[in-house]
A and B are shown apart, each in its own frame.
Chain A
Amino acid sequence: MARLDRMPEPMRSHLAKLPCPSFKNQPWVSGQPLAHRRVSLISTAGLQRRGDRPFEGMSGDYRVIPGDTKAKDLVMTHISTNFDRTGFQRDWNVVFPLDRLRELAIEGIIESVAAYHYSFMGATDPAEMEPAARNLVRLLKGDRVDAVLLVPV
């Protein structure tokens, strides 16, 4: 239950005290209707392809997840031990809804699924992730992505 007021201690205090960045600007870009958008997923669950380098720490780096990746080839090496992993073990879509996104593309609800998706280590200081995020913008544009869904864990 991700409601802070219902969360048992010491997790509640731990999460309540986590520093969060605030921003002066609120950028906003609009776009095409959903049916004309190409969607990429960016997860902070520390996901990687099996055989890729595990996440070692909180250095702001990311892993690339090709759009044709199969469930059995995607694993999680997030450093935190304070969240449920059994849901992901049973069904990757509860963390990384690539099958659901593929279905939406087949039905024409979105135009297409991006060729590449990405994963970061979620416990990382956002400032550490910023250089990689700026690089991702160019990669996403190269992939013709015009909608990104950010998924925490």
Chain B
Amino acid sequence: MEGEGIPTTQISLIREHTEIIRPPRALWVPFELGRPLGAPENPVFQRRVLLTALDLLDAPEGPVLVDFPDEAPEDTAGADKNPAGWSCPVSFASEIRQVTDIERLRAALNREVADLRPWYDLSIEKYDRSAVVEFGPDAALELLATFASGKKLEIPDANFSLATALRLASQDLKAFYFEAVTAQPGPVLPGSSEFSQWFWQETAASRILRTVKERCLKEADESLRKTGALLLIPLDQS
């Protein structure tokens, strides 16, 4: 773009990559992946990051790679750094830990979704927004649990491949869980890593997703195998 006459500036999350690529202007930020502006619900800090990146447009020559001087501010809404920590008021762990039978796991997932559903509905009412894209909780549950059980299933939307449908349904189910638990009463909201730990270690949803992954890996279809290998479970939870 720069070569075609449009000035560009950018935020960089992995400094080592930017050092190789050498774009005209880059602001490296020491923030968590997924948060290039640093902190949600902190417009003052976001504005500082944004302005620092835009100010690089006035640099006299380049390429320039500048380090943002500050860490992301403590996430006061999240609890990653709170000694008391966050715990989900609705506990699922004890009833699903020992379950291996897929139908019982499906029943446990049904109960989780039913328990969280009113909080998810309240979250949408409160924020007028949801990150759920294509699969509401019931549709995600149906698709993922049916696939996990090994039954033949109809692709719910002809516009998607089955691999894409499984990926979107897993992302949507996780988004549903996050939005539901953040609407529940409690002293603190979950931080990103606390939510991740809870979701991947203590819910039937994650057990179903691990089963979906195992089935994907055994499929002949390459896109399903790739989805199972890379796109359902984070690397640090595999």
Contact = CB atoms under 8 A, between A and B. Distances in A.
**Is B truly associated with A?**
yes
Interface of A: 1-4, 8, 10-11, 14-16, 18, 20-23, 25-31, 33-34, 37, 39, 50, 53-54, 56-57, 71-72, 75-77, 79-91, 93-95, 97, 99-101, 103-104, 109-110, 133-134, 136-137, 140-141, 145-153
Contacts, number: 227
B107 interface: no
Q: Which of A15, A16, A100 has the most CB of B within 10 A?
A: A100
9 contacts: A22-B21, A28-B2, A31-B57, A37-B57, A80-B231, A83-B33, A86-B191, A90-B77, A147-B54
Interface of B: 1-17, 20-24, 29-41, 43, 46-47, 50-51, 53-55, 57-58, 60-63, 77-78, 128-134, 159-161, 164, 167-168, 170-171, 174-175, 178-179, 182, 190-192, 195-196, 223, 231-236, 238
Contact of B182 (A8, A28, A33, A90): A90
Contacts of A81: 170-171, 231-234
Contacts of B35: 84, 87, 94-95
B30 A26 contact: no
A146 B6 contact: yes
A2 B10 contact: no
A133 B132 CA distance: 28
Q: Which of A26, A28, A56, A136 has the most CB of B within 10 A?
A: A28
A129 B62 CA distance: 24
